[in-house]
Every structure is written in structure tokens, then in C-alpha cells.
Structure 1
């Protein structure tokens, strides 16, 4: 028997993860399901249905209202931008560019689970993403011995996290510069493991902990 095709919107996007995206966006904005439904002029029960049933296929009008309430786009809600680079939208008419204080930078660092580390190699700098945690003020991540991230050990590195909101042409970035080292002390390894917020997405046997002790932390924000 052939597999059933995934539900699609009027724009043709698969809706298999629409519910997850709706719930995640609500969480980012701190909105309850009832608050979101009220603002989108729909019954809370219908929003619950959309979030809990992968086959739900709302019309374009419903998606537009939800996108407006959740301060995002229909493309983002339906996963149509998954493989697109961020920041394709046009700049706003009156953007405001500001520097972030060190406490603000540290607060933003602690909310993220994926960042990019610039590693010096024999052929030049290489930038790779890693799953990270902030433990005792330091950035820590697990990697595989011999991998590109593991080559950061003993080097001065740069580490960056950001968030881009294409719907409003806004966002922020935080840059950390410091020295990386491999953690070998068993007590410190245990402390890092207990404070880790997630497992490495790449999978595999990644038991080498690398720690970056920040020397300089800077950040910038663009708001409308």
C-alpha cells in the first residue's frame, strides 16, 4: 500500500511539522494557546487541533492570521524556509543598530544551544556549528577527537551565536573571543556533562569536552 502524501497548504508546503512550529513560536513570544487563538480570531480548540494533528491543513487566511499574531511569516510557519539562508528579507525603513552590554550578551548566550566556532587550521580558519552550553561562565561543547572543532584546543578562537527574524528584518549577534582548551579533569568533565543542555546533534561518539574561557564579549542588535 502506498504511503499517504503529507497534507499541504494552498501554497504547496508540507504541513507535517506545522503544529510543532506553532507551539515553538508561541513559546518564544510567551503566548498561551488561548491568547494566541483569541488574537487570531479562532477557537482555542481549533488551534489545539492544528498543533496536535500532523495532517491538519488550514487555509491561507488562517495561516496569515497566525503568522501576524506570532510575528512571523507563513513560509516560516510551514517550513518553506528550512533550506534557505537567513536574512533574505528587505531591511526595515527605520532600523536601529545598537551595541549590547556584556551582561546582555551573556544572557543571550545562555539561551542558545547552537553556535559557530572559528577554528584556526593549517589551511586557514574554518567555521563550524556546534551544540554548546554555558557552564560557570564558560562555553563548553562536546566533539570527536580529530574533528575540526577539536582542533580549537590550545588556540585563540572566535565563537558566535545569533538570531535573525526575517519577518521583521531584525536580530542580534554575540561574538566571544577567548582561548579554548580540552577538559581532562574528571570532576570538571562531570560538571560540564551535568550542566549540558543537549546532546550533540551530529550523533556518534563525541566524548571530548572543549571549553572556551571568554576574554572579550561583544554583541549587536538591530531592531525596528
Structure 2
């Protein structure tokens, strides 16, 4: 019996990006040198469903996942991201990988409007790097913290702020590094503007009402590209 795309909470509409399961399925299929038709035949499914699974955000049932894992000579745990609690980067290096420098516009595009990044500070105990929720406003990076928290020590110093993304499925990723002066925001109107732009309360919870703004004097980035991986067009 073939699997067909479902509606409702199991599968999202066509406007959504690929899901992690689909990316892992595509990666494993390519490692084995199989076509979608090959996988469909092995799993007792329709080729169109394998394409749907790889290209859309989907949540297949356990019965199909068991058949799919067997078809791909792997485990359900591997397909569903059972190693999610492990540090990123556990995959092996991709073939024909290249390290590309990113331009300033590319760096800002990857920073986006918000996310989670890491701020570097120097404390009495030595250097420290800590994750913070951030937002981008007028070519500046802003984050909230508590006045007595370690990230607050970035205020009044030149500091570094780093954001990255690791794609274990294809052993590729990117990183952006911003270096510049950081300051505490004390102007009430400026604070109100940042509060209005904040997409979320800090994940760490608690009373974190001190805004720190970093103005990059140097913005650099690098990307690991793997030829043949989805979404990667390398210059020749």
C-alpha cells in the first residue's frame, strides 16, 4: 500500500521549507546512490511520496518510518534525529568541500533579523563565550541580559559576536563574526524601540531588561560548501 501526502497537522502546506526528516532521507539516499524510485520500491511506497517527503515538511507514521529506515539501511533513530542532543558537527566531512569567504551583504543576510548567537566577554575568571537571543536593528546587533549577568560585561568594551549554522546531513555550514564596540542602551526611547522589535523574551527567562548593542567595525563570514548538496551553487 503506497503512502500519500496527508492534510491536517501531519503535513504542512507547500509554502513551508523542507523538514529535517526529508533532509536526512535525501542525504542517506544519495550516500547509497539510490533514486527516489529505488527507495519507493524498497519501502513499498510511491515515488511521488518519497519526493514529497524530501521536499516538504512531513511527519510520517511509525510503520512507514520502519520500512523507510530498512530501505535506506539505517535506523528510525538516525532518520528522526535521535542525536539531536549531541553537539552539532558529528557527521563526516563532505566530498569536494570548499571554504568560501562571505561578503558583508551575505553576512547581514545570514544574521537575519533575529536568532541565537554567542557573545565573547572577558571576566575576572578569564574569557567566556555565552549564548544570547539577539536581534538586528539598523546594522547593529542587540541582545538583552541582566545587569549582573556575565554577558553584561560586554558593555563598554570591544567584543566579538558569532552566529553559525551547522548542517549535519550534508556536512556543511556557515559562520559570521562581528567585532566592534558594545554599549549599554540607557535612552528610554531607544529601549522602547528595541523592546518593540524583540521577537521573543530571552529563552533563559528571568528579569533581563538590560539591552546591549554592538556596532560591528568588522563583519566577516565563511561558508563550507559541498558540491552536489541541495541548495548549493558553487562558482566554477
Quick check: TM above 0.5? yes
Residue 72 of structure 2 corresponds to residue 61 of structure 1? no
Task: Measure how far apart 1:83 and its partner are.
Answer: 1.6
Q: Hey, which bits of structure 1, 4+ residues long, moved more than 6 A?
A: none
Corresponding residue number in structure 1 for 2:50: 40
Deviations 1:136-192 (A, max 9, x none): 111111111110111111011110001111111100000000111110001100111
1:1-224 matches, within 5 Å, as: 27-29=16-18, 38-40=48-50, 50=59, 56-58=61-63, 59-62=65-68, 75=77, 78-110=80-112, 112-224=114-226
Query: Residues 116 and 136 from structure 1, CA distance in 2 versus in 1: closer, same or farther, beyond 3 angstroms?
Result: same
Query: Residues 112 and 207 from structure 1, CA distance in 2 versus in 1: closer, same or farther, beyond 3 angstroms?
Result: closer
Task: Measure how far apart 1:117 and its partner are.
Answer: 0.6
C-alpha RMSD of matched pairs (Å): 3.2
Task: Measure how far apart 1:39 and its partner are.
Answer: 4.9
Moved more, 187-196 or 96-105: 187-196
Tell me the distance in 2 between the aligned counterparts of 1:75 and 1:103.
Answer: 38
Q: Is the 8 A contact 1:183 1:210 kept in 2?
A: yes
Q: Is the 8 A contact 1:112 1:161 kept in 2?
A: no
Task: Measure how far apart 1:76 and its partner are.
Answer: 6.5
Query: Residues 64 and 108 from structure 1, CA distance in 2 versus in 1: closer, same or farther, beyond 3 angstroms?
Result: farther
Query: Residues 95 and 209 from structure 1, CA distance in 2 versus in 1: closer, same or farther, beyond 3 angstroms?
Result: same
With the length of structure 1 as denominator, give the TM-score of the two structures. 0.72
Moved more, 147-156 or 77-86: 77-86
Q: Is the 8 A contact 2:158 2:181 kept in 1?
A: yes
Q: Secondary structure at the match of 1:40?
A: helix
Tell me the distance in 2 between the aligned counterparts of 1:64 and 1:165.
Answer: 24
Corresponding residue number in structure 1 for 2:38: none
User: Gapped runs of 5+ residues in structure 2?
Assistant: 1-8, 20-46, 227-236
User: Gapped runs of 5+ residues in structure 1?
Assistant: 1-18, 31-36, 68-72
Tell me the distance in 2 between the aligned counterparts of 1:85 and 1:205.
Answer: 29
Q: Is the 8 A contact 1:176 1:215 kept in 2?
A: yes
Query: Residues 79 and 124 from structure 1, CA distance in 2 versus in 1: closer, same or farther, beyond 3 angstroms?
Result: same
Q: Is the 8 A contact 1:130 1:200 kept in 2?
A: yes
Q: Secondary structure at the match of 1:113?
A: strand
Q: Secondary structure at the match of 1:99?
A: strand
